Amino acid sequence: MLVSPENLVYTKTPLMTDKPLSYCPGCGHGTVHRMIMEVVDEMGIQADTIGIAPVGCSVLAYEFMNIDMQQAAHGRAPALATGIKRCWPDKYVFTYQGDGDLAAIGTAETIHACNRGENIAIFFVNNGIYGMTGGQMAPTTLPGMRSSTTPYGRDVALMGNPLKITELVAMLPGTFYVSRHSVHTPLNVRKFKRAARMAFENQKLNKGVSFIEIVSNCNSGWKMSPVDANKWMEDNMFPFYPLGDIKVNGEMVSKPTKAE
């Protein structure tokens, strides 16, 4: 052993495979994956957990997460999760989705799974853009934000408004826990991990959907360095998508906490 146990300060959870991540350097997807897997590991529920990968940059999430997984059609992960959870009511089921997947093509499945109160967790990575297909406008793209299909910036008069789907699902009776996070600093990573733990613990209560948005970067799509992308995210994304709890234990939190 290269490191003696008493000197070990960090080790990769065995619930992440050894496969090199397919994400761009600096992308938030890998951190979100790892935190979810650390939670599954710490709770000792690998044998009872089924994950769903979306269509998007994280389409191959099942290559990296060392659990049983199923890959969904674009936007349909909440429908798959519904089918799986209804068949395995005692297992932990979660979806992992991007903003195009969850808030554009999959809006109906998102809203109805949340409204029915499926006893699942939804992890929603909002990077304001379609990463995988090369940086097109997403429903979450900010007003004025450039993308490959809004090269002069999103003109809301022509292209419509960004959708705050997280606030929307918080209004539905079937959501039990709704919270918005980021993973760009160690503090935020720790907060997200606590929220992810809550999302899994909640499934024991049978009280409905736990919905966690992670506001993240897409430095490739935004055409920025990772550091600049994180700075841009803090300055532009967080004011529009404020971090913090929106609904806890089925009750709306009156004021979302300010961006950190």
Partner 1 sequence: MGEKKLMKGNEAFAEAAIRSGCDAYFGYPITPQSEVMEYLAAQQPHLRTGMVLLQAESEVAAINMVYGAAGTGKKVMTSSSSPGISLKQEGISYLVGSELPCLILNVVRGGPGLGTIQPSQADYFQSTKGGGHGDYRMIVLAPASVQEMSDFVKLGFDLAFKYRNPVLMLSDGIIGQMMEQVELFEQMPRATEFDQTWATTGKTPDRERNIITSVNLDPAVQERHNHKLQAKYQKMQQEEVRYESFDCEDADYLLIAYGCSARICQKSVKLARAKGIKAGLLRPITLFPFPTVEIKRLAGKVKGMMAVELSAGQMVEDVRLAVDGRVQVAFYGRMGGMVHSPEEVVDALIKHFSIG
Ligand X SMILES: Cc1ncc(C[n+]2csc(CCOP(=O)(O)OP(=O)(O)O)c2C)c(N)n1
Helix (H), strand (E) counts: the chain: 11, 10
Between 47 and 158, CB nearer to partner 1? 47
Q: Is 78 or 221 the residue whose CB approaches ligand SF4 more closely? A: 221
3-state secondary structure of 50: strand
One-character DSSP codes across 89-140 = TTSEEEEEEEHHIIIIITHHHHHHHHHHT-S-EEEEEE-SEETTTTSEE-TT
Window of 37-45, 76-84, 203-211, 218-226 that interacts with ligand SF4 by CB under 6 A? 218-226
The only residue of 75, 78, 100, 131 in contact with ligand SF4, by rule CB under 6 A? 131
**Which is nearer to partner 1, 69 or 198 (by Cβ)?**
69
Query: Of ligand SF4, partner 1, ligand X, none, which one sits near residue 94, judging by CB under 5 to 8 A according to partner kind?
Result: none
Shortest CB 68 distance to ligand X, Å: 22
Q: What share of the chain is helix, strand, coil (3-state, %, to 5)?
A: 40, 20, 40
Contacts with partner 1, 106-145, as mask; x by CB under 8 A: --xx--x---------------------------------
Among 27, 32, 39, 69, the residue binding partner 1 under the rule CB under 8 A is 69
Q: How far is the CB of 130 from ligand SF4 (least distance, A)?
A: 9
Is position 220 an interface residue for ligand SF4 (rule: CB under 6 A)? Answer: yes
* Binding partner selected for residue 23 from partner 1, ligand SF4, ligand X, none, CB under the kind-specific 5 to 8 Å limit: ligand SF4
Cα–Cα distance list, 172 to 15, 191, 212 (Å):
33, 24, 15
d(CA 192, CA 212): 9
- In the list 38, 43, 48, 136, the residue contacting partner 1 (rule: CB under 8 A) is 48
Is 203 a binding residue for ligand SF4 by CB under 6 A? The answer is: no
Q: Which is nearer to ligand X, 127 or 219 (CB)?
A: 127
Long-range CB contacts (< 8 A, 24+ apart) of 246-251? 246/166, 246/167, 246/170, 246/178, 246/179, 246/180, 247/170, 247/175, 247/176, 247/177, 247/178, 247/179, 248/177, 248/179, 249/176, 249/177, 250/175, 250/176, 250/177, 250/207, 250/208
Identify residues 172-201 at the interface with ligand SF4 (CB under 6 A): none
By beta-carbon proximity to ligand SF4, the closer residue of 225 and 249 is 225
Q: Which is nearer to partner 1, 63 or 228 (CB)?
A: 63
Task: Report angle CA 232, 96, 119 to the nearest 5 degrees.
Answer: 125
Question: Would you count residue 219 as binding partner 1 (CB under 8 A)?
Answer: no
Instruction: Report residue 87: phi and psi, to 5°.
Output: -85, -30
Whether 212 and 122 have beta carbons less than 8 Å apart is answered as yes
Shortest Å distance, C-beta 42 to ligand X: 26
Residues of the shown chain interacting with ligand SF4 in the complex, contacts defined by CB under 6 A? 23-24, 27, 29, 57, 127, 131-132, 218-221
